[in-house]
């Protein structure tokens, strides 16, 4: 006897086609990540910002690039509304607001670093494919340089806009100590953007920046020399679980706790290294505690980085806790509590970051 089979549900063809066309836009956006990085590295955006309405031949001539590339890039940018196009004159224009977002490195709206970080991350996807199958990880230090430089260029404008004027003043009594002369450890400092900004703002204080990635520390030393603050900062290659020194008035971690394999071990080291009334400042990507809190454009980008960059980084290290980029404050509090910290407060936030104050 044959079993009756249910008829498949009728498809909503409009919904299907709407999804397909949304995906076409996202394929364009995927390619656009490379186009933005290309426009940044070839100087196309800076040239357009400086010269106004431009033809492909003019852009190619002024940037020393081949005209067919300039032409196709301009067309792709116009199709994506990054540029406007004027058919009668055949000229392309970078609108002033987009010129800020695409050319002003210090602006909190600056975007090329975000794209550079994303493109470098996507570049390494085959390693993550292998890691997902084996359950292993892929270390921060193993990624292409665009990941390290893009990270610095993405986060630095936000630190430049908020760290000295908003985030440090949100911590109880910390600015007074920094003005008087404090000892500060900036752990997982990468290229040292946050360390250099703090050293510039508080000349009486002394800073120790550390990171487990030797090439990042070499760059951080260069950044401090370029900024004229090498006399106030010592950079060391060290993992957070081996944080060098004691008696710190302030320990900072910018966008790195969730990348660590053993954040509880790192937190225990912070407790040991802090002065008795010291403060641990943790800056983490903006996130709520529940998945549904993060189902928005920022959460989408960060869950993408989490899958391809931060979670593999954590899994490449001992313990491999894999907090994820969207851990949320409750899970960070659990890490602090497990290390013996008693006081925990969320003291400031931006669309991209949350600032936590943790004390004994």
Ligand X SMILES: C[S@@+](CC[C@H](N)C(=O)[O-])C[C@H]1O[C@@H](n2cnc3c(N)ncnc32)[C@H](O)[C@@H]1O
DSSP 227-287: HT-TTTEEEEE--GGG---S-EEEEEEES-GGG-S-HHHHHHHHHHHEEEEEEEEEEEE--
State yes or no: residue 189 binds ligand X (CB under 6 A): yes
Of 32, 317, 326, 353, the one binding ligand X (CB under 6 A) is: 317
- Distance in Å, CB of 6 to ligand X, minimum: 50
State yes or no: residue 352 binds ligand X (CB under 6 A): no
Residues 6+ apart with CB under 8 A from 53: 86, 89, 91, 92, 93
Taking the least distance from each CB to ligand X, the nearer of 42 and 147 is: 147
Judged by phi (left if over 0) then psi (alpha if -120 to 50, else beta), residue 343 lies in beta
Of 251, 260, 315, 321, the one binding ligand X (CB under 6 A) is: 260
Dist CA 197 CA 223 (whole Å): 10
Residue nearest to ligand X (CB): 190
Dist CA 243 CA 185 (whole Å): 9
Residues 275-314 that bind ligand X (CB under 6 A): 313
Which of the stretches 7-15, 221-229, 255-263, 338-346 binds ligand X when contact is defined by CB under 6 A?
Answer: 255-263
- Distance in Å, CB of 109 to ligand X, minimum: 18
Dist CA 192 CA 181 (whole Å): 20
Rg (CA), the chain: 23
State yes or no: residue 251 binds ligand X (CB under 6 A): no
State yes or no: residue 240 binds ligand X (CB under 6 A): yes
Token pair belonging to 349: 């936030």
Binding track, positions 139-158, relative to ligand X; x by CB under 6 A: -x----------xx--x---
Residues 42-71 that bind ligand X (CB under 6 A): none
- Distance in Å, CB of 317 to ligand X, minimum: 6
Which of the stretches 25-33, 89-97, 101-109, 254-262 binds ligand X when contact is defined by CB under 6 A?
Answer: 254-262
With both helix axes pointing from N to C terminus, report the angle between 145-162 and 214-227 in degrees, rounded to the nearest 10.
40
Token pair belonging to 345: 């407060």
Number of residues that bind ligand X (CB under 6 A): 22
Judged by phi (left if over 0) then psi (alpha if -120 to 50, else beta), residue 283 lies in beta
- Distance in Å, CB of 305 to ligand X, minimum: 9
Of 196, 197, 256, 323, the one binding ligand X (CB under 6 A) is: 256
Contact footprint for ligand X (CB under 6 A):
140, 151-152, 155, 188-190, 193-194, 211-213, 216, 239-240, 254-256, 259-260, 313, 317
């Amino acid at each position: 006897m044959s079993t009756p089979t249910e008829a498949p549900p009728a498809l909503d063809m409009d919904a299907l086609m709407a999804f397909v066309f949304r995906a076409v836009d996202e394929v364009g956006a995927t390619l656009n990540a490379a186009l933005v990085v290309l426009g940044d590295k070839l100087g196309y955006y800076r040239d357009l910002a400086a010269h106004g309405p431009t033809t492909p031949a003019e852009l190619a001539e002024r940037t020393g690039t081949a005209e067919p590339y300039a032409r196709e890039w301009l067309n792709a940018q116009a199709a994506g509304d990054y540029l406007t196009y004027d058919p009668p004159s055949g000229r392309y224009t970078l609108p002033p607001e987009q010129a800020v977002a695409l050319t002003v490195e210090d602006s909190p709206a600056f975007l090329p670093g975000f794209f550079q970080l994303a493109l470098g991350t996507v570049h390494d996807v085959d390693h993550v494919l292998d890691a997902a199958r084996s359950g292993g990880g892929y270390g921060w230090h193993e990624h292409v340089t665009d990941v390290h430089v893009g990270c610095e260029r993405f986060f630095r404008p936000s630190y430049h806009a908020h760290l000295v004027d908003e985030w440090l003043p949100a911590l109880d009594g910390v600015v007074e100590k920094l003005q008087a002369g404090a000892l500060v450890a900036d752990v997982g400092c990468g290229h040292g953007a946050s360390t250099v900004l703090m050293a510039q703002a508080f000349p009486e204080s002394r800073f120790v920046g550390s990171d487990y990635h030797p090439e990042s520390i070499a760059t951080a030393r260069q950044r401090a020399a370029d900024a004229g603050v090498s006399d106030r900062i010592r950079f060391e290659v060290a993992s957070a679980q081996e944080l060098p020194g004691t008696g710190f008035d302030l320990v900072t971690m910018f966008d790195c706790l969730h990348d660590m394999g053993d954040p509880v071990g790192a937190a225990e080291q912070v407790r040991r290294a802090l002065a008795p009334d010291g403060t641990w400042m943790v800056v983490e990507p903006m996130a709520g505690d529940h998945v549904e809190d993060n189902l928005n454009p920022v959460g989408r980008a960060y869950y993408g980085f989490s899958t391809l960059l931060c979670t593999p980084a954590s899994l490449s290290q001992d313990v491999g806790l894999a907090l994820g980029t969207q851990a949320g404050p409750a899970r960070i509090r659990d890490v602090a509590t497990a290390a013996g910290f008693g006081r925990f407060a969320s003291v400031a936030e931006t669309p991209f970051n949350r600032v936590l104050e943790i004390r004994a």
